[in-house]
Amino acid sequence: MSFLEDPQQPLSFGQRLATSEAFRSLFREGMGLVEEAAAYLDGPGRFEAKGLPRPDALAYASESMRLTTRLMQIASWLLLQRAVNEGELTQVQATAEKHKVKLSRQELASNPETFRRLPKKLQELGSQSMRLQERVMHLDRLLYSSVDVGMGRPISVHLQMERLQQVFQPA
């Protein structure tokens, strides 16, 4: 009997989501935001920063570093998951590599009042990156923090992969 036929065996919604068109869309959105932020920070953002008063210019530098760090964390996670989806890495290998990708919730700005004085484009990129980070962190929790609902115990990713393989193996 496969685990699909056994109601006691949970399906991994996260794993299904990670291989869906929704993930591919999230991947495109994430990589697009990385490119957009890089183009802004290397181009118009430099000029805008030069026109800011010194305290705001320091805040701009700090916020642009936060943005870059956040986007690199997101991009690393998305690339790692895409490698799993494309068969370049197994889920077990990805789990071992995942410790190098630090997805951590950051505040948008250390000082919200100063943040509001920064260029609008930097504010928009920061807000977009925060929303994207929340979505990626949610998917990360679905994939890597699965819980066996019936037993209240964590299920290893390896065990989940074995269950998926059982379902999709030809009879």
Could you tell me if 24 and 31 are in contact, meaning their C-beta atoms sit under 8 angstroms apart? no
Residue 11 has a pLDDT of: 46
Could you tell me if 77 and 47 are in contact, meaning their C-beta atoms sit under 8 angstroms apart? no
Domains and CATH numbers, the chain: 13-168 (1.10.8.930)
**pLDDT value at 3 more than 70:** no
Residue 32 has a pLDDT of: 97
Distance CA 27, CA 50 (A): 33
Question: What is the rounded average pLDDT of the residues 138-164?
Answer: 62
Contact residues for 4 (Cβ-Cβ < 8 A; gap 6+): 11, 167
Residue 144 has a pLDDT of: 74
**pLDDT value at 136 more than 50:** yes
> Which structure tokens are listed for 81?
């998951």
What pLDDT band is residue 164 in, cutting at 50, 70 and 90?
Answer: low
Residue 16 has a pLDDT of: 57
**pLDDT value at 150 more than 50:** no
Could you tell me if 132 and 74 are in contact, meaning their C-beta atoms sit under 8 angstroms apart? yes
pLDDT in tens, 77-99: 999 988 888 888 887 787 878 77
Quick one: residue 87, left, alpha or beta (phi over 0 = left, psi -120 to 50 = alpha)?
A: left
Residue 162 has a pLDDT of: 67
pLDDT in tens, 25-35: 999 999 999 99
